[in-house]
Every structure is written in structure tokens, then in C-alpha cells.
Structure 1
Amino acid sequence: MSLSRLLGLLLLLATGTTFARPATVPMPAHLLDGGMDAAMPGFARQVMAHYRDEDRKRYLGTLFRLQSATGQYPQAIASIHELRQLGDHAAGQSPLFLQYEIHALARQRQANTHASYADAWQQEFAERFGALDERTALQAEFAFGGWLPRMRDELDAQIASARGKPRLSIDEAIALVRAWQVHDAYAAFQPYFTTALKVDDARRYAIDRDAMVRTPDGVELAALVVRPETAPPLPVLLTFTIYANDDWAWADAKKMAAHGYAGVVAYSRGKGRSRDAIVPFEHDGADAAAAIAWAAAQPWSDGRVGMYGGSYSGYTQWAALKQRPPALKAIATSATAAPGIDVPMEGGVFLNFMYPWPFYVAGNRSLDDATYGDSERWEKLNREWYRSGRAYRELPRIDAASNPVFERWLQHPVYDDYWQAMTPQGREFAAIDIPVLVTTGYFDGAQIGALHYFREHLRQRPDADHTLLIGPYEHFAMQAGVAPVVQGYTPDASARHDLQALRLAWFDHVFKGTPRPELLADRVNWQVMGADRWRHAPTLEAMATRSERLYLLPGEASHRLADAPSADAVTVQRVDFTDRGDAGWTPSPTVLNRELDPHAGLVFRGEPLPHDTELAGPFGGELDFVLNKADADIAIGIYEQTAAGDYLDLAWWLQRLSHAADRSHRQLLQPGARQRLRIADTRLLGRRLAAGSRLVVTVGVVKQPDQQLNLGSGRPPADETLADAGQPLEIGWFGSSYLDFPVRE
């Protein structure tokens, strides 16, 4: 070696500079031909000998897997422990890679004691997992799950990628070892995990899977109770639901118990072990009140009950409040259904997605997933009904199936006494003096229901302790977590909150006196999409600092959103209900699309924005129009068209014109007479529009296979047939029609 090369080598060693990874690692014979388990330790040792990474965390995260694959379990455990010390471990957070640590300890015990792996793993699990507190254990158990066939698929994919290659790059080799190590560990311990977890649960909790609540009218309600094994009387957190799934119920009740409450899940009448008739919506208020009274009277209860849950289980909380049970001290609702307001119809328009729902919840004592999930059946039903021109009321006959719940709903097409009996009305809201938390999303179909309760409560009781949180969430975000991508939209980092943890922190504030969660800084709390921040205000109206009025004007190439009216200008919309050539149409599953759906109707475009503009709060407005029919169903959509040309759904509004003045009575319009319609109580906007974007508004008449049709004849829309369509519907939208957009400076 020359002197210059020697000096260079010494310099590299002195400065601690690492050498580049070897280009490749030789592939051992038989590694991919059925001898992987025997050959993998030697292959992993080769990889480990050459593996380097200056990032210590990343290095250790790979090293422990290589050490495990070679059978060096004490070293793998040491690497996991060092990796944990380098991380930021929050209270209640699961120890990193606990599942692999316990697996390594079990292998080590197995080698030292000659015990079976099953016995060694169960003993290590009992010692290590059992030492965790309840909250941490609840977090930790999810790491032991996972679908083994998927892990096998990932390993097979790595094998297929490596096959035929005499050598692998270090990255390829690491990926192969990792896939094998993951599958090897989970295949070893998963057969014992469920039983071991049940043993651990039985040690921590008092569990009653057979509780039964008897209502004053003699109905039995099945309930599940999970509470800390040794604890003084505790507040109860209860969910009351028609979605009878014992696994879901167990997970909910156990989570409440892990956080220091008595967790109770009660099913509505006829569900689970109850043998009574299944009746969605109609008895839930009184039945939930009975469940509350029962829970409050138990010796393990301190007499205070809080309710939580989303969708239908959000509705049951308001149904219970109509009964004013004295033990109910707080509710936390999400994606809250409001019968007669947002389901099974919105704005008076019945929504076809609710037709199969009774089969799901009322078809048996649990849930009929097979029938409800038969999307081919329901899409075919929509197409056949729409194409046939038959009355909406005939959907069950077209489906050749009895659907008495749906038929009962159709008997109440307005917000009459049937619907009003289910939830608080008018001054009943004024008596609700307990804390309320509601969570919804910009992309949540039930947002309008959640806002209904919020608005009515504050109208009747302006000082109500009612807190709203809204972000870029869809209907199941509270239950399933905030997904990295929501219906095609990628939420900002600040939106990625654990909403269930937030709810529990709020309950701790209410029942245990802990500080109020910082995110709930005011009555209204919203995430500003595109700005990656949260804002807070005391009311919906205070979300914006000003309003910008834009008028709907006709244009040559495109209709316009303009800042000044033109009362004589008219944009004519024509809809032929006899044309059913679009029976195969289906809505887009995403909220970010390259094109607008033609079913959205007329398109009005604003000018490119000269600077970033933040929209915050409900929109409003007034439509000035003339119609040649006695009625119509109108849909308005609000979009951002980005500078790149994509359309992001921001909000929408759906309304049957004859229900607009009074949702409890139908008032037909006079054909040919000029009409004005106020747009109010809409969904919320929460978006920073970038400079160069445009505001886009669509104004459409509902004509699509997944919603009830209103042909405008004046007959009940459920009874109208194609013969009632008559001449095409024509609406003239005058240029004095406008929308008010809430802007925050």
C-alpha cells in the first residue's frame, strides 16, 4: 500500500467516518427453496456483519431484527432497550417493540430451561405485560395483533423479489430478513396471545357479560360491564347502541375501565340477549334512560353517568336527554344522527343509503353484515327503480323483500310528531344543563345532525356548556381514528389527533376535575384545512370576521360568481325527469376530484383569488327564482378549484323547496311565481384557499339513482311515477340570487 493511501485510511479511522455499505451480499444456497428457517440465521449474520447506519435509532431498529434472526436474543433485547432510551416515551404509551422483546425473552427462557415455547412465552407475557398499568396495557395489546396471512404475503413478496439473484444489495437483504423475522415472531406467539390476554383481563377487571336491564314497561336490555377489579365506586361511561357486536362492545367498555371508569355498553331493545321486538329509534330515549338509572344504582357506581358514542349512539344520547334522567351528567357525541333531520332524509329528501340499513340492524339479534354489505344488490336496486320510473314507495317490491321499517319512515315524509318525539324540541333544549361535547367532520355526512343539536341547544340556552370540534374527518373518524388520507384528501399534521383520547380527557375534566383539553379552548374549535392550524371561537357566527356576498350570474363560457347583482339576468336550468339514461351513475368516493360531477348542476365560478383566503363558518344566502312546477329538490355544492385544476368538496346543502319554510309541513310552490328561498343552518366551511384558487358553486336539481326523486307534480314524492313527470322542470335563477361566504381575516 502506498504511503498516501495509508495516510488516507488513518484519516478516515481518526474522523470516525464510516465506509459505504458493500454493494451486495451473497445469497446462501437453499435460502429460498424450503430451507429458509435453517439458512436464515447464517444469512442474517452476513448482513449484520456489513450493516452500518450513522442514524442510531434507525440502526438499532434494524439491528435488533438481525440479532433476533440470528438467534442472538440477549443482544436483541439490549438493542430494544437502548432504542427505547433514545425515544420520547409519553405516559401511557406502549413500550416500543414489546411484542418482540417478549418473544426474545421466551426464546431465551426456552433455551435455558428447556420449557416449551408456549409455556415460556405465556410466563414472560404474564410478567412483562402484566407489569404494565391498565392504560399502557390497553395501548400495548394492539402490537400483538395483526393479520398473519398478510405478513406471509409480505414475506412471499420479498422471496419472489430475491429469487434468481445470486447476490442481494444490503437494502434488499435487510428487507428479506425483516419480513422473515416479523412472520417468524408472530407465527410463534399469536396462537397463545388471545388466551393470555383474557387471563390478564380477568386479573385487572371485574367483567359482567350477562348483565340485563329491565325497563319500566318490562323490556329487557342486554348490557356488558367492565370495571377495575379493585376500586371505589366510580363514574359510569355508557354507550347505548343498536349496533350489537360483542367485540366492539368489549373494546369500548374495556377502554373506559382502563381509564378509571365503570364501562357499560347497553344494546337497544331486541338486540343481543334481549328477546323483545327490534324497533330502531322509537323507544331508545326511554330505554336509554332506564339503562342510565340502572347503572347509577349499582354498588360499583358513584351515581354519575356519562354517555358517549357516534352516529346512532350519538342520537341515543339526545334521545335520553329528552327524558331528563337525573343521573346523566355529561354526553360526548360524534357524527351525531338526528332522525328526521339528516336520516333517513335530509332537507326532506330521502336518501337511498338508508334503505338497506334496517336489514343490517333489525334483521337479527346482532348485525346482518352479509346483507348490508351486498353492494351489488343495493346498486342494482337503485338502477332498477330509477330506470323503471316506479314510485319510490315501491322500493321494497322492486327489491322483492319486506322492509317494514323503511315503509314506516315513508309514512312520515315531513318532520312531524313521529320524528319530534325522538329528540328534544324547542324549550326542552333549554333544560339541558349538563356539559356536551360534539365531534364531527367536514366530510361527515352526519355533520348536519351534529350541528342541529348544537344550534338548537344554544338558541334555547345561550350559556349552554356545549363544545363543538370539527376537522377534516369522515363519519367513522372517532371510532377508527383519523386516516392518513380521508376520501382522497390528505389532512394537515395538526388534524391528526387521537379523538378517542381527546374524548376521555374531556370526561376526566368533567368527572375528575383535570384541566380541560387545550384543543377545546372555546365553544367552537375547528381545524383550518390548508393552514395546518386550529382556531377557536365562542359561536359559529364568530368563526368569521366578515362576510363576502357573491351573486349567481349567467356567463358565456361559464357562469359567474360576481360581487354585484344583476336582477334582470337569468340563468335557466332545465331537467328532464323522463330521461333515465344515467341509471348507471354512481357518486365519486372521494372529495378531491379532477372533474365536477355533471349531476351537480349549473356551475358558477369565481375569479382566481389574488391572495390566500380563509373561509370559516356556515355559509348562507338567498335564492331568487321562478319555477314551472309545484316543488323541486335543490342541492348546492361549495368547492375550491385549485390552481392545478382539482376540485375539493368544501360543503353542501340539500333542501326540498316545499319544506324550506317549515320542515314539519309541506307548502307547495305556485308555478310561474317568483320565489325567494333563504339558505340557512348549513354545514361549516374551514379551509384556507390558496392564492390562485377559485371558489366554485354548483346549483342542481336532485336527479340521481341514489336519492328520492321529486317530480314537482304536487303529489307526495314517494307516490310519484314517471307519468307524473310531465314537461321538463325549468328554473330561472335570477342574478339577485347570492351566497354569503364567511371569511376570516
Structure 2
Amino acid sequence: MKILLNVCVVLLLGCNTSNKKDNTQLTNSNDDYLIEDVVIETRDGAQLSAIVCRKKENTKPQAVILQSTIYVRDKGRDLNTIKESADRGYVGVIAYARGKRFSPNEIWPYENDANDTYDVIDWISKQEWCDGRVGMFGGSYNGFTQWASLKKPHPALKTIVPYVANRPGLGLPMENNIFINPNYEWAFLVGNNKYLDTIAGNDRQRSRNLMFNWWETGVSYNRMDSIDGIPNRLFQRWISHPSFDGYWQKMAPYKEDFSQIDIPILSIDGYYNDSQNSGLYYLREHYKYNPNAEHYLIIGPYSHFGAQRNGSEEINGYEVDKDALINTNEITYQWFDYVFNDGNKPEKLQNKINYQVMGANEWRSASSIENMSNTHLKFYLTTEKQNDIYTLNDEKPVNSAFLSQKVDFSDRKNGNNDYYPNPIIKEDMDLSNGFNFISEPLEESIVVNGSFLGELTVSINKKDFDFGVTLYEVMPNGKLFHLSYIVGRASYADDIENRQLLQPKEIERIPFSNTHLVSKKLSKGSRLLVYINVNKNPFSELNYGTGKTVSEESIKDAHEPLEVKWYNDSYVEIPILTD
């Protein structure tokens, strides 16, 4: 179907946008720009709202820089960002998700972005001010839409620059098949109206109270919005898909889809981006299915928001190295000039993987994530103690033994699994529950470089459980530096698409690998510490182990405590770089 256009040119007077929240955003008193408010019709008849910004002095077709977003921001922020694209020699376009701003359609985050963004690119490529080349950039949801558009690549799309890109179904609203609570309020932020419901969506105290109310009452996870008293249709839609099924798969490239992506890509991410496994999923899968891809990564000690800006001098109490700070925006436009105008490649891109080494105040590079390390440390989780802490041993135990843990899910006074890296540097290890395993002091300095993996050998009295594994450096001063972690569901350890329940009281092997990537220089005398636990807290879905759909389980299913035997042939492999 031909893509239709409805254009309202905004020069001095603006267009008739009565009762539109961002009318002032389109009132432009600067005669340097030609700004157009457009509605683009998609192949299936939906209408998308977008803004186009060009410099009046540029009469020749130019490459276009597109941002595709669900966030409709007023007070000029959106207009300013496309003006910057125009100032830098491009045409700037910002397109809003289906249902947002002037779009009359329903709002369903993630579900239509693959086709809709393709259609926006197609429309842009046919405009007289476009030279047939389109690039995209942006973070979080805006990073997702870039990848979504590559589900079926449009020939006009020549490059993307995603920051901390979301991958629905993997990093949010669930992580390793566990639904996590902080995404609950986001549904209100983007889904309540044509713009942003910042009152409901940013009410952190209300959301926190809701999480604890749900925790204390013990009702099933799928009734959280009944506790809230406000229906959450997006939440209900999401939790009806606990497996990484076709619902999630169709939203962005999946498996062989990556083989057809042959444009240059620059990804930017952070060690302490809580959805890092989303952004790096795209990178890993891209190289898996297209080994010759031109895909670069810049990563350092940044949070979800820090990576989209310039980092920050301090993150979760940790003062980052001076060398870690970057200018994300400047790097982005250097990349566009490299792709579109034969400019110089950004200086940070010394190889495909470019990472800041925490504690060393330096950047290093590697040809792949795997080549960030040149060896690994393999430790078994023993049942032997040293100074009241269990030990990590590099030799596999000769005799089988286990540590026993009992978790009462009806107990709401105590939570398990303090895994989140805030603060990054802790005074003491958690000895209240779970198990800690510590290594001997390092005889020389090393760099932990990459994503650790491992395998848990367990036996439980139920059909499923959620686990957590956290990796720390115990510094010579005794403080703990949070390096990486994973939370996962045992029944999805082998296959995120299909749940495979455990056999009660049978020994099972639970592999894990989707941990957060990190680079940190450990000094001589430091130790490595591994903390394992059952995941039970107010901040994520609770798996009671009955084998039913987890979101339908409640405290009524907690009559029998979970009993876990952690066997001593469980192990972790930690990638390291030695000079």
C-alpha cells in the first residue's frame, strides 16, 4: 500500500494544533529551520505522528537521521534534538509509536514497531529532501525500535546507533523468564495517554508501596493491578507470555533474522545498565548469525541513563575513573559522519569491542567479547569452610556433598537474594541467607573481563525455583565490589522458549550464562566471592515451585517450604585477561 502523507508546515504561525499538549513545541520563531508536522499512514492503515526538521538554507537532498520513540516529550526537547541533526548537516525526523501524540490508534508498546518503523523509513526515503539514506539513533525504547526496524531491513536504512537497547521479553518486562516489578509502572507512563503520564508513571513511592503490598498480602502476581486498584492492561498482556514465545520473537530480529543485517552498527552500553542483557543480546546474536558483521560496541561503567548521556562521575556510590567519561552524543554524530560523509571513525573505536577497565583508568579493545579474555578461572562451590565462609576451589571435589537450604515462601518478614548493584561497593557480605564462597587471595593483579558463566547442580523438593548468582571482588580492605549477577528460572535454563519442569528430589544441572558483562582490574591480594541464593523478594515475580504458571501462584501454594540441595560440583567460570 502506498504510504500517505498529511503535512502541516510550521513556519511563523504554526499549524492548527488546538488542544494538543505540545503546540508550543511546533511554534518556531527561528527562520533558519523548516519544520513540518506530519502524519504517516502505514500499510495496515494506522496513522503515525512525526516531526521533520530541515535547515532552510539546504535545498539539496540530504541523509536523514531518524529517532523512533514512544516517549512524547514536551517543552521543546524533541524539537531540539531534531534541530541538532539539522545543524549537523542532516534532516532530523522524530516519529512516535502507534497511538502516541496525533496518532488515533491504540497504544501497544513493542507490538507494532517493527512494521511501523519500516514504513516510516520507506516514507522518508521517498521524500524530495531525502537522498535515499537514513540513519537512526537513540536509547532504551528508541534503541529497541532501531533493532525492530531490522526485523525486515529497509534498503534505505544505512546504519543504527542504539544505546542500552531494550529487547522485549529478555531484559524487560522479564529477565531470564522472571517478570520484574519495576516495569509495572512504565506501562502507565507510556500507555495512559497520547503523551506521557508522568504523574502515574513516575510515582516511585506509589509503585514501591504496591510492590510491598503485593508481597505482604501474598496474592498471585497476576492480581497485582487489583491491589493497585487500577487495571493495567499492558501488564496483563505481558504476563500471559511467560515463555519467550512468538509474541516476543516477532518484535525484533530473532535467530536467522540477524543473518540479513549487513549495515554498520555502533552499540553503546553500560556495566551497570540493568537491561544490559538486552543490548548485548543483539550484538551476540548479530555476530552469531553474521560473523562478518561490522558491529562495534562501546561499554563502560554506566547506568541505563548514563550510557545515553555522558556517563556520570559517580554511579551507585562508586567514583568512576576519569577516563570512563564519554560524550555519547558527539560520538554518535562522529559515527554518522563516518558512515555518510567518509569522515573519521570515532577515536574510541580501536576494535569491534571497546571497553573501559574499571580500576585501571584505561580503555582497551578486542575483536569480540570472547577475545576480551585470554583465560578463565574455574571454581567449584565447595562445602568446606574457611573462617566461617565456604571456599571456592579450582579442583573438582572427589566426593559428592551438598549444602542444604530451606526457604519458606509464606514468610514475608525475610527476603532472599540481594543481587542488585546498589551500592556497588558494600561494607559486608550477606550472611543472612544463601551461601557465600570465597577464593584464596590473588597472587597477582588480573582483569575480570567479560561475562561469567557456570552450572548449578541441585536437587529440590518441588518442580521449579528461581535462583540468583552474584559475583564480587573482595578487596584487600575487606569491602565488596559488585562485579556481575544473574537471576534466572531453573525451568527455562536450557530453553527460554519452552519450560521444562524439574523432577522433585532428582539431581538436576542448571547451566547459566546470561550474566552481566564487566571489566574490572583486581589488585593483588583481592579475592573473588560468589553468592548463590533462591530468588525471593518483593522486587520480582515469586516462583513457589508448584509447576503452575508462576504468575498464578500465591501464598496459598507456600504450605511446603522449598528445600534445595546445592551440590559441590556446581561451578563458575570467570573470564580474565592476564598481561
Equivalent AA in structure 2 for residue 283 of structure 1: N
- The aligned residue for residue 461 of structure 2 is 628
Q: Deviation at 1:215?
A: 1.1
- The aligned residue for residue 56 of structure 2 is 229
- The aligned residue for residue 211 of structure 2 is 382
Equivalent pair of 1:615/1:689 in contact (CA under 8 Å): yes
Q: Deviation at 1:480?
A: 3.3
Equivalent pair of 1:239/1:307 in contact (CA under 8 Å): yes
1:585/1:672 Cα in 2 relative to 1: closer, same or farther (>3 Å)?
closer
- The aligned residue for residue 656 of structure 1 is 489
User: How far apart in 1 are the matches of 2:345 and 2:415?
Assistant: 51
The C-alpha deviation readout for 1:261-280, integer Å capped at 9, x for no partner, is: 11111100111121211111
Q: Deviation at 1:597?
A: 4.9
Equivalent pair of 1:599/1:700 in contact (CA under 8 Å): no
Q: Deviation at 1:588?
A: 6.9
Which aligned pairs between 1:57-68 and structure 2 lie closer than 5 A?
none
- The aligned residue for residue 130 of structure 2 is 301
1:564 aligns with 2:381: no
Structure 1: runs of 5+ lacking an equivalent? 1-193
User: How far apart in 1 are the matches of 2:185 and 2:429?
Assistant: 28
- The aligned residue for residue 413 of structure 2 is 581
| 1:205 counterpart (33, 41, 48) | 33
**Structure 1 or 2: more strand by fraction:** 2
The C-alpha deviation readout for 1:137-171, integer Å capped at 9, x for no partner, is: xxxxxxxxxxxxxxxxxxxxxxxxxxxxxxxxxxx
Equivalent pair of 2:416/2:534 in contact (CA under 8 Å): no
Question: Alignment length, in residue pairs?
Answer: 548
Q: Deviation at 1:203?
A: 3.4
- The aligned residue for residue 710 of structure 1 is 543
- The aligned residue for residue 610 of structure 1 is 443
| 1:442 counterpart (271, 286, 294) | 271
1:497 aligns with 2:329: no
User: How far apart in 2 are the matches of 1:438 and 1:703?
Assistant: 33
Equivalent AA in structure 2 for residue 217 of structure 1: D
User: How far apart in 1 are the matches of 2:308 and 2:514?
Assistant: 26
Q: Deviation at 1:694?
A: 1.6
Q: Deviation at 1:668?
A: 0.2
Q: Deviation at 1:726?
A: 3.0
Which aligned pairs between 1:103-502 and structure 2 lie closer than 5 A?
199=29, 202-208=30-36, 210-231=37-58, 232-246=60-74, 247-502=76-331
Q: Computing the radius of gyration over CA atoms, which structure comes out larger, 1 or 2?
A: 1
1:539 aligns with 2:372: no
Equivalent pair of 1:599/1:704 in contact (CA under 8 Å): no
Equivalent AA in structure 2 for residue 237 of structure 1: I
The percentage of counterpart residues that share the same residue type is 38
The C-alpha deviation readout for 1:677-727, integer Å capped at 9, x for no partner, is: 222243212000112222111111110001000011111111111121232
Which aligned pairs between 1:3-152 and structure 2 lie closer than 5 A?
none
Equivalent pair of 1:551/1:562 in contact (CA under 8 Å): yes
User: How far apart in 2 are the matches of 1:600 and 1:418?
Assistant: 37
1:294/1:227 Cα in 2 relative to 1: closer, same or farther (>3 Å)?
same
Q: Deviation at 1:414?
A: 0.4
Equivalent pair of 2:442/2:524 in contact (CA under 8 Å): yes
Which aligned pairs between 1:687-726 and structure 2 lie closer than 5 A?
687-726=520-559
Structure 2: runs of 5+ lacking an equivalent? 1-23
Q: Deviation at 1:436?
A: 1.2
Q: RMSD value over aligned CA atoms?
A: 1.9
Equivalent pair of 2:417/2:533 in contact (CA under 8 Å): no
Equivalent AA in structure 2 for residue 562 of structure 1: N
Q: Deviation at 1:622?
A: 1.6
Equivalent AA in structure 1 for residue 65 of structure 2: L
1:590 aligns with 2:423: yes
The C-alpha deviation readout for 1:568-614, integer Å capped at 9, x for no partner, is: 13122221111101379996743222234568832111222222111
User: Aligned with 1:218: secondary structure?
Assistant: coil
The C-alpha deviation readout for 1:332-382, integer Å capped at 9, x for no partner, is: 101110011111101110000111111000111110111122122111111
**TM-score normalised over the length of structure 1:** 0.71
Q: Deviation at 1:641?
A: 1.9
Equivalent AA in structure 2 for residue 257 of structure 1: A
Equivalent AA in structure 2 for residue 720 of structure 1: E
1:468/1:600 Cα in 2 relative to 1: closer, same or farther (>3 Å)?
farther
1:659/1:599 Cα in 2 relative to 1: closer, same or farther (>3 Å)?
farther
User: How far apart in 2 are the matches of 1:318 and 1:660?
Assistant: 25
User: How far apart in 2 are the matches of 1:268 and 1:451?
Assistant: 24
The C-alpha deviation readout for 1:374-400, integer Å capped at 9, x for no partner, is: 122111111111111111010011111
1:588/1:738 Cα in 2 relative to 1: closer, same or farther (>3 Å)?
closer
1:609/1:269 Cα in 2 relative to 1: closer, same or farther (>3 Å)?
same
Equivalent pair of 2:467/2:534 in contact (CA under 8 Å): yes
Q: Deviation at 1:402?
A: 0.7
User: Aligned with 2:400: secondary structure?
Assistant: strand
1:239/1:601 Cα in 2 relative to 1: closer, same or farther (>3 Å)?
farther
User: How far apart in 1 are the matches of 2:83 and 2:54?
Assistant: 7
User: How far apart in 1 are the matches of 2:528 and 2:261?
Assistant: 39
Equivalent pair of 1:530/1:687 in contact (CA under 8 Å): yes
The more displaced of 290-299 and 566-575 is 566-575
User: How far apart in 2 are the matches of 1:401 and 1:598?
Assistant: 38
Q: Deviation at 1:223?
A: 1.0
The C-alpha deviation readout for 1:718-744, integer Å capped at 9, x for no partner, is: 111112123221221211111111111
**TM-score normalised over the length of structure 2:** 0.91
Equivalent AA in structure 1 for residue 31 of structure 2: R
User: How far apart in 2 are the matches of 1:564 and 1:432?
Assistant: 43
